[in-house]
Chain A
Amino acid sequence: DTAVSQTPKYLVTQMGNDKSIKCEQNLGHDTMYWYKQDSKKFLKIMFSYNNKELIINETVPNRFSPKSPDKAHLNLHINSLELGDSAVYFCASSQAPTGGSPLHFGNGTRLTVT
């Protein structure tokens, strides 16, 4: 009964490939996020959706495209992967997009681009 689940856990691929990461939450939350954690553990917001509507779109290369088919799912598709895309990608959800509702994180997808 994992609250926020991401697949796959590990993703190893070559430069130039296209890959997707899937995320699902069973908490009934309205808002979902993608964060990137680099090798120094720094967390950076990438995207956020609220009820399937994009509300945060940070300065991210347009090779990254999120998609939210419904409010329980937020997927991340990455085109033409580059070495610098290697990182851990975390999906998260919160009850609301603002205010005091905390984020609930998945366990991450470790992407390695060779």
Chain B
Amino acid sequence: AQSVAQPEDQVNVAEGNPLTVKCTYSVSGNPYLFWYVQYPNRGLQFLLKYITGDNLVKGSYGFEAEFNKSQTSFHLKKPSALVSDSALYFCAVRGGFKTIFGAGTRLFVKA
């Protein structure tokens, strides 16, 4: 069975600084990995995904994620954080029919 762990409940970063939101996964077979963002009172929005190929994938709003097979990690990154990036971020893995989500990491970007 697949699983996802987001070890940090909350990440605090100053505006303009780089940010990293961590994710590790467990899945049998090839992983399909995703990051989603949730703003208050809204549904989740897809940011980016890894299927195969380059370990660094680029997504929406300047976000990127680095896939590391040996560490079974898929960390979300952004070179320069914006206050508007403050939200709840979910890592997800798909195995078979199911997409399983991590517990979420709340990102606070301070001006």
Contacts and interface: CB of A to CB of B under 8 A. Distances in A.
Contacts of A48: 97-98
A55 interface: yes
Interface residues of A, number: 24
Contacts of B43: 4, 90, 92, 105-108
Contacts of A92: 43-44
B32 A42 contact: no
Interface string B26-39: 00000010101010
B49 A42 contact: no
Interface of B: 32, 34, 36, 38, 41-46, 49, 51, 88, 90, 92, 94, 96-101, 103-104
Interface of A: 4, 33, 40-43, 45, 48, 50, 55-56, 90, 92, 97-100, 102-108
